[in-house]
Amino acid sequence: MIIKNENNTIEFQLTKVDISKPETFCQSHKKKIGTADVVFDCLKLSFLDKHMKALNSIFNTLKTKNQSFVFVATPEQFNSVPESLIVVPTLQEAHDFIEFERIQRDLGF
């Protein structure tokens, strides 16, 4: 479910239904996302390690060049996260991370 869509950033709150059917989630939201930066709020999900395959699928299907994808989850929700996924503990940190990446892109890094 889309929570917020502003400043070329879309914020999703991922649910168990989204995670159980990542292909359906990607198909229904790919056009909406386009080239926007994305925050996935996973705070309402339980232990994320069991959902890592679905999270990777969503990330790999939707990610394009020059686009930021950030997952929000507390350290208690996971044991290990692939290096390709950026995970931060709060929504504010997710938005700060995206802003930092935008600055880097603007400067050519």
Q: How confident is the model at residue 101 (pLDDT cuts 50, 70, 90)?
A: very high
- Residue 79: give its domain's CATH number: 3.30.750
Average pLDDT estimate for 54-75? 87
Task: Say if CB 46 and CB 78 are below 8 A apart.
Answer: no
Whole-number Å distance between alpha carbons of 62 and 97? 19
Quote the domain boundaries for residue 23: 2-107
pLDDT given at position 104: 93
Question: Does residue 56 contact residue 80 with C-beta atoms inside 8 Å?
Answer: no
What domain count does the chain have? Answer: 1
- Cα separations (Å) of 87 from 3, 24, 42, 106? 18, 23, 10, 23
pLDDT tops 80 at residue 65: no
Please give the structure tokens belonging to residue 102: 């935008």
Question: What tens digit of pLDDT does each residue of 7-62 get?
Answer: 999 999 998 888 888 888 888 888 888 889 999 999 988 888 888 888 888 888 88
pLDDT at 84: 81
